[in-house]
């Protein structure tokens, strides 16, 4: 990976540095650093040559491999067209066209045109809350795109049993695939939107139950069970929202009890919960605002039913229209047949019968609703089909490489010392040894002082931090910890600094810079990693332990504040006989970063004992 540093502004002036070759800049992030002539702010961008010129995505495939898959893509496209035609044909057979046409002829033209316009408005309003949630999350997506994705998701939900669910995975996939939204953020936005939608639906059923009771249309048993059922489901949904917004992750707690094949899904869900919690902290009234944003949709839906019944010659009061909407909503909640088939017709006929209208009115209204839903569903199927065709024709969005969990796939890590050389530094003189290994293609390092064979060796296992170690970024304390460890080991005359190439706690520089940008929007360092679909800490220490064994180290006095690192080394068979704290400087640029490490990652930091320098403006952590 090449690095591009641009726009370094300081008291010395503006100094643009660029790569020596023309490269793309997938992500950039700004951070403060300190120079001998004053403070500076830099933009840092990882550069990559392996990019598609048209799509802007990294391609892991060679041109020959891509060409080999072209016949398969053509076959899948043809098959998808055939499936689309078959599904639309099946839907068309479910419409009694003659009866529908006779019903539509009863509509005044002005009413029919008004109904069409109102439905377009309703489709547009359906994406309002989702659009707002993505803007709060820092990933604005055009409203028109979201409307199209909602229509496509509706088609999946409508043509499958249980029409309340089914299309949500398509919404998440469309955000990730078409809009390059991180998986956790996509899951959080769709999940919050669906939860708030469920609260609104159950709340509406409570209002509808009150209207039914007011008109005397409920039996004594239903008068108790319907409000209790709707209220109970609404309460459960609200409780889950409250728990998640308070930072508790039920899926994270549940994941350890799940079978291994479900843990990955639970991990993605936990990342979405963490992202949702971050959104709630940034917008404390998020749930209330989200529910309020649904009010225009409910008003438009009431207007649609009022317009449909008026066009059929019915004259219903406000409460009677609510009752009719409640009957239709209950039909779609039944997970029996796609689109509430049969339940909708029966519910409308029975409800209008109790209001004094014959069965023909209920069937006519059901036909109009069915035609509307099938029309929207057909458009949604076409959109979903087009999304699939685009996927077959273009590469996926860039993502971080998948890490191998060594606890699940045991592997004997072997290292080979390639060369050592004397390196004099400000802290002292070290032997710098470079290692190759059989696990990854990275060149890990060891800075050695004295004869380190034996027990109780002073050791620092340090993970690479380009911004902190090389540029002196003040967003973190990594660079200072490295030099403090080198100084301590040099003073003792015996010890090792193992320098592992696992930038950004194992997620890489590209993803780390994306995390910086999220932190500038209010995420903390853990939330940013989770929002990008990573774990809070993805580092592994098996290569580091193998290097220590190659050097003859039998047990260590570990320079660290991280209890997880101690546990990892001991689990790998390297005894830790003592933890030696690394006391770095705290200032306004890294205060939030250190507080997050202490609070959320349980690092052994005494914030009161750290040296305090409060002279810079606040900047979030790395």
Helix (H) or strand (E) holding 433: strand 429-437
The residue assigned the tokens 């650093």 is 33
On the question of pLDDT at 72 being above 70, the answer is no
Q: Which residues pair with 30 in a beta bridge?
A: 43
Listing DSSP states for 178-239 in one string gives HH---HHHHHHHHHHHHHHHHHHHHHHHHHHHHHHHHTT-S-HHHHHHHHHHHHHHHHHHHH
- Count other C-beta atoms under 10 Å from residue 466's C-beta: 19
The rounded distance, in Å, linking the Cα atoms of 571 and 541 is 10
* Mean of pLDDT values over 431-451: 92
CB 263 within 8 A of CB 271: no
Q: pLDDT-derived band of residue 43, with 50, 70 and 90 as boundaries?
A: low
Which position has the higher pLDDT, 29 or 183? Answer: 183
CB 547 within 8 A of CB 500: no
> Percent of the chain having pLDDT more than 90?
22
pLDDT at 430: 95
On the question of pLDDT at 246 being above 70, the answer is yes
On the question of pLDDT at 68 being above 50, the answer is no
Signed CA dihedral, 95, 96, 101, 106: sign only: negative
The rounded distance, in Å, linking the Cα atoms of 236 and 222 is 21
Which tokens belong to 23?
């490269």
Selection from 525, 539, 515, 521 nearest residue 600 by Cα: 525
pLDDT at 170: 87
- Count other C-beta atoms under 10 Å from residue 206's C-beta: 17
Signed CA dihedral, 375, 376, 379, 385: sign only: negative
The rounded distance, in Å, linking the Cα atoms of 449 and 516 is 35
* Mean of pLDDT values over 67-74: 50
11: left (phi over 0), alpha (psi -120 to 50) or beta: alpha
Which tokens belong to 435?
């290692």
Widest CA span of the chain, in angstroms?
97
Which position has the higher pLDDT, 42 or 48? Answer: 42
pLDDT at 237: 87
Helix (H) or strand (E) holding 114: helix 109-126
Q: Per-residue pLDDT tens for 161-178?
A: 655 566 888 898 888 888
Q: pLDDT-derived band of residue 58, with 50, 70 and 90 as boundaries?
A: very low
CB 208 within 8 A of CB 325: yes
Least confident of 19-33, 75-89, 117-131, 412-426: 19-33
Per DSSP, 401 falls in state P
On the question of pLDDT at 213 being above 70, the answer is yes
On the question of pLDDT at 285 being above 70, the answer is yes
pLDDT at 599: 76
- Which domains are assigned to the chain? 2-57 (no CATH), 74-393 (no CATH), 415-613 (3.40.50.10990)
CB 548 within 8 A of CB 459: yes
* Mean of pLDDT values over 108-119: 86
Average of per-residue pLDDT values in the chain: 76
Q: pLDDT-derived band of residue 562, with 50, 70 and 90 as boundaries?
A: confident
Where would I find the H helices in 507-610? 509-519, 525-531, 542-550, 563-571, 591-600
pLDDT at 338: 53
pLDDT at 32: 53
The rounded distance, in Å, linking the Cα atoms of 113 and 450 is 87
Helix (H) or strand (E) holding 111: helix 109-126
pLDDT at 56: 33
Q: pLDDT-derived band of residue 54, with 50, 70 and 90 as boundaries?
A: very low
Which tokens belong to 617?
């403006």
Per DSSP, 277 falls in state H
Q: pLDDT-derived band of residue 147, with 50, 70 and 90 as boundaries?
A: very high
Which tokens belong to 134?
């993505």
Which tokens belong to 295?
């009010």
First to last CA, the chain: 20
pLDDT at 559: 93
Signed CA dihedral, 486, 512, 4, 58: sign only: positive
Which position has the higher pLDDT, 472 or 594? Answer: 472
Where would I find the H helices in 246-284? 250-255, 260-282
* Mean of pLDDT values over 427-454: 92
Least confident of 239-253, 395-409, 537-551: 395-409
Least confident of 195-199, 331-335, 424-428: 331-335
Which tokens belong to 319?
């409460």
Selection from 542, 534, 547 nearest residue 505 by Cα: 534
* Mean of pLDDT values over 248-274: 75
Per DSSP, 608 falls in state T
The rounded distance, in Å, linking the Cα atoms of 585 and 612 is 6
The rounded distance, in Å, linking the Cα atoms of 612 and 234 is 48
> Strands 576-580 and 556-559: what pairing?
parallel
Q: Per-residue pLDDT tens for 492-515?
A: 999 999 999 999 988 899 988 988
* Mean of pLDDT values over 379-393: 70
Q: Per-residue pLDDT tens for 478-490?
A: 888 999 999 999 9
Least confident of 187-201, 310-324, 345-359: 345-359
> Strands 29-35 and 38-47: what pairing?
antiparallel
């Amino acid at each position: 990976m090449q690095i591009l540093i641009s726009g370094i502004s300081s008291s010395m002036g503006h100094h643009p540095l660029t790569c020596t070759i023309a490269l793309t800049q997938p992500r950039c992030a700004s951070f403060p650093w300190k120079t001998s002539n004053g403070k500076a702010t830099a933009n840092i961008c990882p550069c990559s040559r392996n990019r598609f010129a048209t799509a802007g995505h990294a391609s892991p495939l060679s041109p020959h491999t891509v060409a080999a898959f072209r016949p398969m893509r053509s076959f899948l496209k043809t098959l998808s067209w055939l499936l689309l035609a078959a599904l639309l044909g099946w839907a068309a057979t479910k419409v009694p066209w003659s009866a529908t046409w006779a019903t539509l002829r009863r509509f005044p033209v002005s009413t029919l045109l008004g109904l069409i316009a109102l439905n377009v408005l309703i489709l547009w309003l359906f994406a309002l809350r989702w659009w707002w949630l993505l803007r709060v999350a820092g990933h604005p997506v055009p409203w028109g795109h979201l409307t199209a994705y909602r229509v496509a998701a509706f088609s999946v939900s409508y043509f499958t049993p249980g029409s309340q669910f089914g299309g949500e995975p398509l919404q998440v996939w469309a955000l990730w695939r078409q809009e390059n939204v991180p998986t956790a953020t996509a899951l959080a936005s769709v999940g919050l939107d669906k939860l708030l939608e469920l609260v609104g639906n159950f709340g509406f059923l409570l209002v509808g139950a009150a209207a039914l009771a007011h008109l005397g249309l409920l039996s004594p048993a239903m008068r108790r069970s319907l409000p209790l059922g709707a209220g109970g489901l609404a309460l459960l949904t609200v409780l889950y929202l409250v728990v998640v917004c308070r930072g508790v992750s039920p899926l994270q707690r549940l994941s350890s009890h799940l079978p291994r094949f479900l843990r990955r899904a639970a991990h993605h869900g936990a990342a979405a919960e963490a992202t949702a919690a971050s959104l709630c902290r940034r917008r404390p009234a998020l749930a209330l605002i989200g529910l309020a944003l649904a009010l225009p949709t409910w008003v438009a839906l009431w207007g649609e039913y009022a317009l449909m019944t008026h066009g059929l010659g019915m004259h219903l009061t406000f409460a009677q229209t609510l009752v009719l909407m409640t009957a239709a909503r209950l039909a779609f909640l039944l997970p029996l047949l796609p689109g509430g088939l049969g339940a909708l017709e029966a519910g409308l006929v029975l409800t209008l019968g109790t209001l004094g209208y014959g069965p023909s009115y209920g069937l006519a209204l059901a036909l109009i609703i069915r035609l509307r839903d099938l029309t929207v569903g057909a458009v949604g199927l076409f959109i979903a089909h087009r999304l699939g065709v685009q996927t077959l024709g273009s590469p996926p969005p860039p993502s971080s490489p998948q890490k191998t969990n060594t606890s699940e796939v045991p592997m004997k890590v072997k290292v080979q010392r390639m060369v050592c050389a004397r390196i004099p530094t400000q802290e002292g003189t070290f032997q710098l040894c470079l290692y190759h290994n059989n696990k990854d293609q990275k060149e890990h390092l060891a800075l050695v002082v004295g004869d380190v064979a034996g027990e109780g060796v002073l050791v620092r296992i340090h993970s690479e931090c380009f911004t902190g170690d090389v540029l002196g970024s003040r967003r973190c304390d990594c660079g200072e910890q490295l030099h403090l460890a080198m100084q301590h080991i040099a003073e003792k005359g015996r010890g090792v600094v193992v320098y592992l190439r696992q930038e950004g706690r194992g997620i890489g520089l590209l993803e780390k810079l994306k995390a910086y940008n999220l932190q500038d929007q209010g995420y903390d360092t853990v939330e940013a990693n989770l929002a990008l679909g990573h774990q809070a800490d993805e580092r592994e220490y098996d290569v580091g332990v193998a290097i220590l064994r190659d050097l003859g180290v039998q047990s260590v006095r570990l320079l660290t504040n991280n209890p997880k690192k101690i546990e990892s080394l001991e689990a790998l068979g390297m005894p830790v006989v003592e933890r030696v704290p690394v006391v770095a400087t705290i200032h306004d640029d890294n205060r939030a970063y250190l507080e997050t490490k202490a609070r959320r990652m349980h690092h052994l930091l005494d914030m009161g004992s750290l040296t305090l320098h409060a002279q810079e403006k606040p900047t979030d952590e790395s």
